[in-house]
Structure formats: structure tokens, C-alpha cells
């Protein structure tokens, strides 16, 4: 390499360094800010996670303490004083509260609590479906069969989380109304459902036999 070429390379490198220095002086704060935001965001997430974990632990301890009460009325009173920091936590506490109220004989209060959960729009569907299902079970002897059927049919809609359990309840309503053939037909279809669990499948078969029918052979499931 000639002296001229070497000189040109040195000048070019110097110009590059000068440009980089100017860029750093002008825009270096952007990089610093980015680092601060990344570090700060990570720290905030860790604090948020730690706070959420702490709140969950406190809620769990409070629930366990309330459930340790042997008397259902005292247990219900303890659960009423438990405060949760999230709608989901409130729903869990209220469901446990409704169970204790039902055991204590306060069925109406239990149903009211469950119905309040069922219409809470900011809760995931599964919470609302469970609350509706439990409320309907508590009203088996008080709510007209037509009303229960209508609500269970909504719970049995395609894709609903408690669809199969709702179908089982619809079959029981059929039986209570004397429509045994409809109940057996519904239970036969229920047993063939690809999503049914073993326990529910066995219950359906037992009910079919109790109603005088014969469980149809199960269709082999693909996959």
C-alpha cells in the first residue's frame, strides 16, 4: 500500500470517528433513555409480580382461616370479611361464601350471591357459568322446571364451558317431567360426545339403565 493510500485511509477513519462522536453527542441520550426504560420496566414488572404474589398469598391465608371454622354460619361470617384485590378473587370468595350459606340454611342468600357473580361482566365466562350452574342446582325445588330448563339450555350452548354438565341436568329435568324417552335420548348423545369425561359418561350410562334403557355401544374416537 502506498503512502497516499495509507494517508487516505487514516483520514477516512478519522472522519468516521468524528461523525460517530457527533452522533453520540446528539443522540446518545436516546440510548441512555432506552436503557433506563428497559431497566425500569423490568423492575416495575418484578414489583408488580411480587405484589400480586403477596396479595394472592394473603387471600389464600384468609380463605383457609375462614374455612377452618367448623360451624357453617361462623364460616360464612368469616368469609364475608375476606376482601380480595381482584374480581376473580372476589368471585372465588363469594362462591365459597354461598356454599357455607347454603349449608347454614341461608339458601336465598347463597343464590343471590351466585347470581351476582353470574352477571358480573368483567369476569371470565367460566366463573359466570359456574355461578349460574350452582345457583340453578340450589333452586331445584323452588324454581319452575321451565325456567331451569331455559337457563340450562343456555349453559349447554356449543362451546360453553359447562355444556356437558348442563346436558346432564336437562336430562334430569326431562325425567322430572315424565319425558323418559327424551331423557334417554339426551343421555345416549351425551355419552357419545367426544369431550365427555369418564365419570360423566359412567353416570349417564347408569341413569340410562335406571330409566329402563340400554346404553348404546360407544363409537370409537379418532385420534
Distance, CA of 49 to CA of 78 (rounded, Å): 28
pLDDT attached to residue 132: 95
Cα torsion through 11, 17, 21, 23, rounded to 10: 100
Residue 155 has pLDDT above 90, yes or no: yes
Inter-helix orientation angle 198-210/180-192, to 10°: 150
pLDDT attached to residue 4: 45
Mean pLDDT of the chain: 81
Residue 36 has pLDDT above 60, yes or no: no
Asked whether the beta carbons of 191 and 202 are under 8 A apart, the reply is no
Distance, CA of 213 to CA of 81 (rounded, Å): 50
Residue 110 has pLDDT above 80, yes or no: yes
pTM (two decimals): 0.71
Amino acid at each position: 500500500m502506498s503512502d497516499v493510500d495509507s494517508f487516505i485511509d487514516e483520514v477516512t477513519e478519522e472522519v468516521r470517528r468524528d461523525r460517530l462522536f457527533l452522533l453520540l453527542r446528539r443522540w446518545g441520550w436516546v440510548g441512555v433513555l432506552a436503557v433506563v426504560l428497559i431497566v425500569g420496566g423490568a423492575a416495575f414488572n418484578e414489583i408488580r409480580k411480587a405484589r400480586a404474589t403477596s396479595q394472592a398469598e394473603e387471600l389464600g391465608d384468609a380463605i383457609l382461616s375462614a374455612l377452618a371454622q367448623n360451624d357453617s354460619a361462623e364460616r360464612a361470617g368469616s368469609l364475608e370479611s375476606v376482601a380480595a384485590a381482584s374480581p376473580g378473587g372476589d368471585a372465588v370468595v363469594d362462591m365459597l361464601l354461598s356454599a357455607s350459606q347454603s349449608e347454614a340454611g341461608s339458601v336465598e342468600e347463597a343464590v343471590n350471591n351466585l347470581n351476582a357473580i353470574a352477571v358480573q361482566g368483567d369476569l371470565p365466562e367460566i366463573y359466570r357459568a359456574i355461578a349460574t350452574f350452582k345457583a340453578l342446582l340450589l333452586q331445584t325445588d323452588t324454581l319452575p322446571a321451565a325456567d331451569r330448563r331455559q337457563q340450562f339450555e343456555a349453559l349447554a350452548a356449543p362451546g360453553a364451558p359447562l355444556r356437558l354438565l348442563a346436558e346432564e341436568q336437562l336430562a334430569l329435568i326431562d325425567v322430572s317431567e315424565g319425558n323418559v324417552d327424551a331423557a334417554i335420548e339426551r343421555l345416549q348423545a351425551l355419552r357419545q360426545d367426544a369431550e365427555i369425561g369418564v365419570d360423566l359418561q359412567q353416570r349417564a350410562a347408569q341413569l340410562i339403565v335406571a330409566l329402563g334403557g340400554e346404553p348404546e355401544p360407544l363409537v370409537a374416537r379418532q385420534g
